[in-house]
Amino acid sequence: MENLRIGNKQLIKDINRALVIKWIRNHGPISRTDISKETKLGLSTVTNIVEDLINNKLVFEVGEADSSGGRRPVLLEFNYEFGYTIGIKIEENHIILALTNLKAKILNKVILSCNKGEKSENVILLIVEGINKLIEKSNIPKDRVLGIGIAVSGLINGQKGIVIRSSLLGWSNVQLRERIESEFNVPVYIDNDVNAYTLAELWLGYGREHDNFICLSVGAGIGAGIVIDKKLYIGQFGGAGEFGHSIIQVNGYQCHCGQRGCLEMYASEKFLEKEGNLLLTQFEASILKNSDFTFETVHKAALGRDSLALELFKRLGEYLGIGLINMINSLNPETIIIAGEGMIAKDYFLPYAKEMADQNFFSKANYQTNYYVSELGEDAWVAGAALLAINQLFPIPIYNDSLLTSLQITSLGNEG
Amino acid sequence: MENLRIGNKQLIKDINRALVIKWIRNHGPISRTDISKETKLGLSTVTNIVEDLINNKLVFEVGEADSSGGRRPVLLEFNYEFGYTIGIKIEENHIILALTNLKAKILNKVILSCNKGEKSENVILLIVEGINKLIEKSNIPKDRVLGIGIAVSGLINGQKGIVIRSSLLGWSNVQLRERIESEFNVPVYIDNDVNAYTLAELWLGYGREHDNFICLSVGAGIGAGIVIDKKLYIGQFGGAGEFGHSIIQVNGYQCHCGQRGCLEMYASEKFLEKEGNLLLTQFEASILKNSDFTFETVHKAALGRDSLALELFKRLGEYLGIGLINMINSLNPETIIIAGEGMIAKDYFLPYAKEMADQNFFSKANYQTNYYVSELGEDAWVAGAALLAINQLFPIPIYNDSLLTSLQITSLGNEG
DNA sequence: AACTTACTTTATTCAATGAAGCAAGTATCA
DNA sequence: TGATACTTGCTTCATTGAATAAAGTAAGTT
C-alpha cells in the first residue's frame, strides 16, 4: 500500500530539496533566481538549499551567464560525477556492462561472452567478474558506485529481485538481486529489458517532454513498457506490458508460452520464421529459399524487392497494427514509441501497421494516438539498466517506502 | 503534468488534515489517541486538527468507548451528513438520480423515463428537472449539495466534461458538465458508467481492502475500469479500459465501432444475438426459436436446460476467457472483478471463462490472478456516480491541480 | 548617478511536537 | 468503603525548525 508521509518539517525539507535537485538535474545550468521563479520557492529558501547541496558536492557553480542589466546570474549544475552506476544487460550469448555517470551517460563498457543457455550461477559469476573488471578499468573507487541495474528479458519480479522466467535464457526463479547485492553491498535493481529501454526513453528520449506513453519493442519477441504520469507501471509482480502474449487470433499459432494466437507469434521475428516457411511453396523464386528468417535476412531480401520478404513484412505489419489497436483501446496512451531490432526493416512494415492501427476505436471520435520511432541507439538498453538504479537515487520523497536507498543522499544535509 | 506542491506550512497542514479526515472516514468511530498512534502524528497535533474539524462540523464526537484502565476514549466519527451529493445514471430509456450522503449511501431516489434515442438537449432538461425534484423531495437546502456525478455509457472525457461518443444514447460531443454546472453552480463530474461502478467497488466493495484491480462489466457491452494504487486510471482523455474493443479475432464479427473481431462482439449480449441467430438452424428444438437473445431470455432457457442456450453461454464464456487473458497479460492485475447484467447467468459461462483465463502467460510461472464476482447491487451504479463527486471532495492534497474544488472544505479551518 | 538583476542576511511566522499537566477511569489494599 | 497508586486519554504550552518576506549587499547596465 502506498504510504504517504505525514506532514512535518522534515517532509517540507525533503520535498523542497528534491525539487531543487530535480530542477538542476533537468534544467541546469540554471541560476538560483530562475529556480526560485520556476518552483515558486522563496529565493532565500533556494539559497539555503543550494548551499547545502554545494557543501555535499551534489551541485556545482559552473560560471556566470550574461547580465541583462544587473548582476550576473551564477549558474548551477548537477554534479553528475557525484557517483556512478552500472547498467547491465544479459543477452543470450553475451553480457554487456556499462559504467555510467548519474545522467546515465556511458563512460566505459565491458562485453563478456557466454555460452547460449549457460546456467544462471555461471552467468552470475561472470557478471561479478565483469563488474570488477569495469570498476578497475574505469579507475574509480568502488564506493563511488551508488547502484547497479540489470536488464533481463523475460518475466521479472523487480520488487523481489527475481527472474521469474526467461525463456530466452532458460532461467526460472533466479534470485539475481540478492546474489549481486551480497557481492558488492550496493543496491541492485533488476527489471525486464523492455522496461529498462522504456526508462531510457523516459529520461533520455521522448519522455523528457511527455508523461504518458507505451514503449513497444519489436524484435525476437514483443514487449512493452507502460509509462503513466512519468512512472513506469509494473503491475502486480512486475509483469505488466506482456502485450506480446495478448491473444489476437483465437486458435492461432501455438506460442512457446503455452497459449495460442499470441501477438508475439504474429508480429515478431518468430512470425517471419513461421509464416516464411509456410509461404515458401508459394514463393519458389524467393532468395530466402535456403536462408533462415530473421529481421536481418528478410530485410536484406526486401531491399532486393524479394516478393516473399515484402509479403512477410506486409502481413507482420498488419498483425502488429492489430496489436497496436489493442494497446490503444485498452490503455488509451498518448503515444506509442516503437523500438527494437526489428526496426531496421521499419519501412517495410510500419506503414501497414499504422494504417491498421489508425482504425482504432478512438479514431472514430477523432482522437488520434501518436506513433514515434525510437531514436535511441543500441546503448539505450544498458543506459536504461543504469537508470533502474539512478531512478531510485532521487525519488519524490512523499512516500515512506522510497526512503530506504535514497536516504544516503537526501539526508546528507542533516549531518553537516 | 502532475504538479507536486512545494513544501511549506500550508502543505503540512493540508496533508495532516486530510490524513486525519481519511482515518476518521475509513476507520471511525475512532479516538484521538488511536489516530495519533496509527498516523504517527503527535497527539497534540491530532487534538488541534480534530478541534478544527469539529468546529467546522466535519466531525462529531459520538460518545465514549470502554476504558481499559484509564480515562475513556472519546470516539470521533465523520459527519457524513455534512453535505450531500447527487449521483446520476443515464440509461437508454430512463434516468436514475439518487441523493447520497458523503458515504455514498443512497438517501432518496428519483427515476425518470425518457424516450430511447432522445436528443441530448432534452435529456439535459430532464436531468435538471430530476435534480430539482430530488432536492425538493429530500427536503434539504440546495446549497448542501456539494457535487453531482453523472455516469454515462460510452467514451467520456471527464477532464473536459464531455460525452465524446455514446453509441447507446446516440450522442456525440455533448458538453454535459458545462450545462449542468451552469444550472446548479456546483461542481459536476462525468465519467463512463463502468468507471463509476469501479469507483463503487473501490470505496464500498472489494477495493476497501485492495489497491489494484480491474473491474469488468459484462452486459449489453463490455467495459472495464482500471484501478492502480487506489486510483482510477483514465488514460489520455478518459478512454482507458475500452477492453471491449480489443480485437480477439482477426477478421472477426463486424463491430458497431467499425473494427472487426472486438471482444464486445464475442462476450457481451451482442454475441448472444449474433451467434444465437446463426446457430438456430443447428438447434431446431430450442425454445429460443422465436425469442430475442438477451441475457435474460437466454438465461431462462438455460435454466430449462435448453441446449442452444447452454452452447451460447459456453462459447461466450470461452471468448470472455480470452478477453480476460489479454487483460491479465497486458496489465497483470492482482484481481479482476466481474460485474454487469450478464452476471445473472454467471453459472453458465463463468466456469468456462475462468478455465480459459487460467491458461494465461503468468499462470505458467505459478502467479495466479484472482477473480471476484461483484457483490454490489444495482444501486452501485448511481452510488458510483455520486462517488465521482465525493472522491474530489477529499483528495490527497499533494498536487496543485486537486485544490480547485476541495478548497471549500479543506481550508475552512483558515477562516475560524 | 540611477537603475537592474542576483544573491544573502535577518527577523518573523506558524504547524508540528515533546513535555508537563489535567481528566477520568481502574486496580490494589488497608 | 475509601484512600492511594496506576493507566489511559486528552489539553496546554514552550520550543523547534523550515519557509519566507523584507531589508541589505554585490555587481552588473544605462
Give the C-alpha separation, B86 to B215, whole Å. 23
User: What's the full length of chain B, in residues?
Assistant: 416
Q: Is B116 exposed, middle or buried (0-12, 13-18, 19+ CB in 10 A)?
A: exposed
Find residues whose C-beta atom lies within 7 angstroms of strand C.
A 6-9, 31-34, 43-44, 47-48, 50-51, 67-74; B 9-10, 12-13, 16-17, 41-45, 48-49, 67, 69-72
Give the C-alpha separation, B151 to B167, whole Å. 14
Decide if B7 contacts A16 (C-beta within 8 A): yes
Partner-chain contact B326 A325, CB within 8 Å: no
- Quick one: fold of B206-373? Nucleotidyltransferase; domain 5 (3.30.420)
Angle at A375 between CA A373 and CA A380, to 5 degrees: 120
Give A258's contacts (C-beta < 8 A, 6+ positions apart). B359, B361, B364
Question: In this complex, which of B229, B327, B369 lies closest to A2 when CB atoms are compared?
Answer: B229
- Better-scored residue on pLDDT, B368 or B401: B368
- Strand D proximal residues, A:41-100, Cβ < 7 Å: 41-45, 48-49, 67, 69-72
Specify the pLDDT at position A401. Answer: 56
Specify the pLDDT at position B401. Answer: 57
Give the C-alpha separation, A32 to A244, whole Å. 47
| Chain C bases closer than 7 angstroms to a protein Cβ | 3-10, 13-19, 23-27
Specify the pLDDT at position B208. Answer: 87
Contact with chain B for residue A359, Cβ under 8 A: yes
CA atoms within 13 A on the CB side of A397: 29
pLDDT in tens, A183-231: 999 999 999 999 999 999 999 999 988 888 999 999 999 999 999 878 8
A17: the nucleotide nearest its CA (via C1') is: D18
pLDDT in tens, B158-176: 889 999 889 889 998 999 9
Partner-chain contact A41 B236, CB within 8 Å: no
Task: Confirm whether B84-200+388-415 and B206-373 share one CATH topology.
Answer: yes
Which value, to the nearest 10 degrees, does the dihedral of the CA atoms of residues B413, B396, A2, B36 take? Answer: 10
Q: Say which amino acid occupies A55.
A: N
Specify the pLDDT at position A411. Answer: 34
Residues of chain B with pLDDT > 90, as a percent, come to 72
Give the C-alpha separation, B235 to B240, whole Å. 5
| B186: DSSP letter | S
In CATH, B9-78 is 1.10.10.10: yes
Cα dihedral sign, B251-B256-B259-B262: negative
**What sections of A139-254 are H helices per DSSP?**
176-184, 193-204
Specify the pLDDT at position B1. Answer: 42
Partner-chain contact A332 B236, CB within 8 Å: yes
Specify the pLDDT at position A2. Answer: 56
Where are the domains positioned within chain B? 9-78, 84-200+388-415, 206-373
| Average confidence score pLDDT of chain B | 90
Partner-chain contact A332 B257, CB within 8 Å: no
In CATH, B84-200+388-415 is 3.30.420.40: yes
Angle at B264 between CA A225 and CA B367, to 5 degrees: 45
Average pLDDT over residues B198-215: 92
Question: In this complex, which of B224, B326, B367 lies closest to A246 when CB atoms are compared?
Answer: B326
What distance, in Å, lies between the first and last C-alpha atoms of chain B? 34
Average pLDDT over residues B105-125: 94
Chain A, residues 205-264, CB within 8 A of chain B, namely 211-212, 224, 228-230, 233-243, 245-250, 257-259
Q: Say which amino acid occupies A286.
A: S
A6: the nucleotide nearest its CA (via C1') is: C16
Find the residue in B nearest to A19 (Cα): B6
Residues in chain B within 8 Å Cβ distance of A361: 155, 239, 242, 245, 257-259
Question: In this complex, which of A172, A241, A332 lies closest to B330 when CB atoms are compared?
Answer: A241
Which parts of chain A sit beneath pLDDT 50?
Answer: 1, 402-416
Please give the backbone phi and psi of residue B388, each rounded to the nearest 5 degrees, phi first: -55, -40
Least confident of A234-248, B10-24, B304-318, B376-390: A234-248
Specify the pLDDT at position A159. Answer: 87
- Distance from residue B47 (CA) to nucleotide D11 (C1'), in Å? 8
Quote the cell numbers at residue B351. 466456469
Specify the pLDDT at position A235. Answer: 74
Decide if B245 contacts B259 (C-beta within 8 A): yes
Give B48's contacts (C-beta < 8 A, 6+ positions apart). none
Give the confidence band of B85 by pLDDT, cuts at 50, 70, 90: very high
CATH superfamily of A84-200+382-415: ATPase, nucleotide binding domain (3.30.420.40)
Angle at B105 between CA B100 and CA B111, to 5 degrees: 55
| B247: DSSP letter | B
Interface with A, mutate which of B16, B236, B254, B264 (most A CBs under 10 A): B236
For B108, other C-beta atoms within 10 Å of its C-beta total: 17
Specify the pLDDT at position A165. Answer: 87
